[in-house]
Amino acid sequence: MNVGLHNAHVGILSPRSLRAKDLSLPCRLQSCRAVQQRPLISDIFSPRSHNLARTKLIELEMNLHRPDAANASSDPIVEILRSAKTIAVVGLSSNPFRPSHGVAAYLQSVGYKIIPVNPNEPEVLGVKSYARLEDIPEPVDIVDVFRRSEDVPPVADSAIAIGAKVLWLQQGITHSASAEKARAAGLTVIEDACLFVEHKKRRP
């Protein structure tokens, strides 16, 4: 995303020094008295509307789907990364050259509890691996998926069944029907995005 464009959209919502007369040429053509009576931009846009605008920008930038009951947030991704403790990684491989292994190892190194979900692995990163999400004996915050897009539907169903908060489909993985089903069930869904990259970018 163009950084200048992002700043132009976001920055206009907050500075108290900006008044309506600064925003467009027609405003400057009005009388001084009329312009002075116009409210501050920060009075027009409340903190809540600012958060809504920020959220919309992030939704446009990423394939982010939030449940209807989700609160407005200046950055939903930061909120997810800060609040999550346990991440189940579906398709996690013990091969250190596989992307799933590198991402999970990084997330483990910054303090997240990683739970491997792979019927072909007895253990990954020193942690017992489970065949299915339903076999995990503790709550899961994020279900991070390293599977082909066509394999997403049963994973999404399992994420809903175990009460996960977030379904995260890694870069290159999308499934609109499953994303909508999970969102309607109350999960936040991210498609086609790398959890490692977003964490490094935001440093929550």
Identify the pLDDT of residue 71: 81
Instruction: With H, G, I as helix, E, B as strand and everything else as coil, classify residue 169.
Output: strand
Cα–Cα distance between 54 and 33 in angstroms, integer?
32
Q: Which among 163, 166, 151 is positioned nearest to 62, based on CA atoms?
A: 166
Instruction: Indicate the domain borders of the chain.
Output: 3-45, 63-202
Residue 85 in contact with residue 141, Cβ under 8 Å?
A: yes
- How is domain 63-202 classified at the CATH fold level? Rossmann fold (3.40.50)
- One-letter amino acid at 86 equals T
Q: Tokens at residue 8, please?
A: 């132009």
pLDDT tens, the chain, 204 aa long = 444 444 444 443 443 433 333 433 333 334 333 333 434 333 434 455 545 555 555 555 679 999 998 887 778 999 999 999 999 999 999 999 999 999 999 999 999 999 999 999 999 999 999 999 999 999 999 999 999 999 999 999 999 999 999 999 999 999 999 999 999 999 999 999 999 999 999 887
Identify the pLDDT of residue 73: 78
Alpha carbon dihedral 16, 56, 107, 139, in 10-degree steps, equals 110
Identify the pLDDT of residue 48: 52
